Amino acid sequence: MEKSIVKIVSEIAGHLNCGENCYYNRTTHKIITLPQFLEIYDDEEYNELFQKDIDEVHNHKSEYLKIEVLQSFESFKIMERFTDKISEDYFKNSLEKILQKKKPFRNFKDVVENSDYREAWFEFKQQEIEKIVETILKNEESGNY
């Protein structure tokens, strides 16, 4: 049974959120995921674990679309958009201050994960990453990628 595009987008977004780059074969709908650090660090032990997938992507490079983990500025924009949606002034102000200080990613995560907004944050972030993935797939399909 063929995966629906909604499921594909959701699956890719979930992997990106976990720090895994995705390689998507539009013809077979196969998704190969590789931890982002594999491309940064040449670690023999991890390379062995992922060698089959590394070889598959390398040997069929033209068949796969690489979708990379979000860059920091993209993740930061998602945190800003989430903060803008908060209606509770005190919490919203806290998040705005965090985003202006050092280590905004760590501090934002710590505050949100220990708040009543934890689940809302996870849902929002997933939806935002899905929008990005959808755009990438549409642009690739139309030749704009």
Task: Locate the domains of the chain by residue range.
Answer: 5-69, 72-128
* Token reading at 87: 């209606």
pLDDT, position 144 = 56
pLDDT, position 26 = 87
145, amino acid identity:
Y
Name the nearest CA neighbour of 21 among 29, 10, 11, 32. Answer: 32
Beginning with the edge strand found earlier in the chain, give each strand of the sheet holding 64-67 in spatial order.
Answer: 31-35, 20-25, 64-67
Q: For the ranges 12-16, 26-30, 95-99, which has the lowest average pLDDT?
A: 26-30
CB 78 within 8 A of CB 128: yes
The percent of residues in the chain predicted with pLDDT above 90, rounded, is 78
Mean pLDDT of 72-83: 97
The span from the CA of 135 to the CA of 76, in Å, is 18
Question: Model pTM?
Answer: 0.87
Q: Is residue 88 scored above 70 in pLDDT?
A: yes
Name the nearest CA neighbour of 138 among 33, 56, 67, 63. Answer: 67
pLDDT digits (tens, 9 = 90+) for 31-66: 999 988 766 556 677 778 888 999 999 999 999 999
pLDDT, position 116 = 96
The percent of residues in the chain predicted with pLDDT above 70, rounded, is 92
Q: Is residue 134 scored above 50 in pLDDT?
A: yes
* Token reading at 90: 């005190």
pLDDT, position 1 = 39
Q: Is residue 132 scored above 60 in pLDDT?
A: yes
The CA distances from residue 119 to 14, 32, 125, in Å, are: 15, 27, 10
The span from the CA of 50 to the CA of 38, in Å, is 9
pLDDT digits (tens, 9 = 90+) for 58-69: 999 999 999 999
